[in-house]
Amino acid sequence: MRFPFLLRALIATASPMAVQAGPWIQDHKGIFTSASATLRQTAMGDWRHELNYYGEYGWSDHLTLGLDLHQNHRDSGHAMLFARLPLGRRNGSFPVAVSLSVGGAHWQGRWDGIYRVTLSAGHGFPTRTGSGWATIDATYERRAAAPDPLWKLDATLGFNRHGALSPMLQIETSKSPGQALSYAIIPSLRYRITAQKELVVGLERKQAANRSLGLRIALWHRF
């Protein structure tokens, strides 16, 4: 991979899948996929599940294309295509990128159009036990069926250790005008299966319409 020193170190000292989404641009013909499932119990005692699939492909050294699929229990979900472009130097020490996503979203079987614009920034850094990375993603989302836009601000802090296990922390927030802030805090452990595969297991503490605690399991794969 043609990264500056810090990002090369970040990837070489642990898994090449540490950089998921965020501002980094895939190398030409590089492929990354993530499939995840979340099982949670709400404060009301109900059990709910979410399924996600994310994939991206390096169309060129300056364009990453991808697919984002999501299903929230039996109620809602979306299917979106996206394109990510670097702003400034590609995959520099402090990369910045913009992504445009378009597709459809449904609520109880009714589908409508949806689009997102995301501005992402990140940084890779060395640590005493390996390396790490941090990203922040600010998203404006608009759905045809919703009267107001949705604003999202997400952050990820990850560490790559020399052993098989590496920690990661994700914070996801969202808010619409006139609505309360929703957020999720997900501390996780990444287990390196092979040089191309990682298993990610995390606990999710979510505050939305209902408070819930969940278990999130994901498989990351780079081709």
Question: Is 57 exposed, middle or buried, given 0-12, 13-18 or 19+ CB atoms closer than 10 A?
Answer: middle
Task: Check residue 162 and give its pLDDT.
Answer: 85
> Under DSSP, is residue 195 helix (H, G, I), strand (E, B) or coil?
coil
What architecture does CATH give domain 5-222?
Answer: Beta Barrel (2.40)
Task: Check residue 21 and give its pLDDT.
Answer: 67
Q: Which regions in the chain score pLDDT beneath 70?
A: 1-21
Q: In the Cβ-directed half-sphere of 219, how many Cα atoms lie within 13 Å?
A: 7
Tell me which residue of 159, 150, 87, 93 sits closest to 120, measured CA to CA. 87
**DSSP conformational letter for 95:** -
**DSSP conformational letter for 27:** P
The four Cα atoms 136, 104, 100, 26 give a dihedral, to 10 degrees, of 70
Task: Check residue 85 and give its pLDDT.
Answer: 96
Contacts of 194 (CB under 8 A, 6+ apart): none
Tell me which residue of 36, 37, 32 sits closest to 15, measured CA to CA. 32
Task: Check residue 20 and give its pLDDT.
Answer: 55
Cα(9)–Cα(103) distance, integer angstroms: 36
Tell me which residue of 113, 97, 116 sits closest to 105, measured CA to CA. 113
**Model pTM score:** 0.85
| Residue 32 in tokens | 């990354």
Cα(194)–Cα(120) distance, integer angstroms: 28
Instruction: Answer for the pair 218, 204: CB distance below 8 angstroms, yes or no.
Output: no
User: Hey, how many other C-beta atoms are within 10 angstroms of the C-beta on 180?
Assistant: 10
